[in-house]
Amino acid sequence: MNAHAGSAAAAPVAVHPPSGTGGRRVTVRGEILGLAHCDADVVEFLRLAGLPDAEDFLDDPEWVKWRGGRAHHYEAASA
């Protein structure tokens, strides 16, 4: 993963809405990295994908798009 997102493209990282059982799927450019249950999980997925300082980008909309639900919340989605 390149350290420069580029302003012309959409945010490369997506944290999807909370699942019915808790946790949020994390993708980079459409590739599923895993199911995160906390910010530390997201940071670890991104570190493994090549972004060593990922915690600096979690609140940067050029890097991370939080889809559905509130950012940094991983509780099960209510029915």
Q: What is the pLDDT of residues 20-46, one digit of tens each?
A: 999 999 999 999 999 999 999 999 999
Q: What is the pTM of this model?
A: 0.85
Residue 20: how many other CB atoms lie within 10 Å: 10
Residue 19: how many other CB atoms lie within 10 Å: 14
